[in-house]
């Protein structure tokens, strides 16, 4: 069992994922930098923009798989920066909805203009099949761990 080829393969993969994560955060910071954002805010603004209607802070946290406190801190800063605003939630008295302001919409558009070419550029030499297999594997692992 100790000689299982999968064992070492998986542990190598995990260590590599830790490293890749750090590099991806750095990439996000680099791309978002010129727009006055950071990678954490990049993640949050992406979720809000994709949800066409308003979303709550814990809702964003669930999508990202993070704690609501972590997201709340980000949104508070972005609200102070005028990128988003809190809106009354007709369905819930205390839990407000988060929406992009016009300024936030503009920033998101500018972000896409950097992010999309980045994504295409970094997959130029990668076959679609490999991307699909990797994504499928990552999602399977997420399901295994997310309980």
Partner DNA sequence: GTCACGATGACAACATGCTGCCCATAACCA
Partner DNA sequence: TGGTTATGGGCAGCATGTTGTCATCGTGAC
Contact positions toward DNA, by CB under 7 A? Answer: 22, 26, 38-41, 43, 56-59, 65-74, 77, 91-96
Q: Quick one: what does residue 93 bind among a copy of itself, DNA, none, with the CB cut-off 5 to 8 Å set by partner type?
A: DNA
102 binds, among a copy of itself, DNA, none (CB under 5 to 8 A by kind): none
Answer yes or no: are the C-beta atoms of 38 and 27 closer than 8 Å: no
* Residues contributing to the site for a copy of itself (CB under 8 A): 1-2, 4-7, 9-24, 26-27, 43, 46, 64-66, 115-117, 119-120, 122-123, 125-126, 128, 130-142, 144-146
* 92 binds, options a copy of itself, DNA, none, Cβ within 5 to 8 A by partner type: DNA
């Amino acid at each position: 069992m100790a000689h299982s080829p999968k064992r070492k393969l998986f542990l190598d993969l995990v260590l590599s994922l830790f490293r890749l994560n750090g590099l991806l955060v750095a990439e996000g910071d680099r791309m978002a930098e010129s727009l006055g954002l950071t990678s954490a805010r990049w993640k949050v603004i992406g979720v809000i923009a994709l949800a066409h209607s308003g979303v709550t802070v814990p809702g964003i946290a669930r999508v990202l798989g993070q704690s609501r406190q972590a997201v709340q801190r980000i949104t508070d800063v972005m609200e102070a920066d005028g990128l988003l605003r809190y809106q009354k939630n007709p369905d819930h008295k205390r839990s407000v909805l988060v929406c992009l302001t016009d300024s936030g919409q503009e920033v998101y558009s500018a972000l896409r203009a950097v992010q999309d070419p980045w994504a295409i550029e970094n997959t130029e030499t990668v076959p679609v099949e490999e991307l699909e297999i990797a994504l499928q594997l990552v999602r399977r692992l997420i399901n295994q761990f997310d309980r």
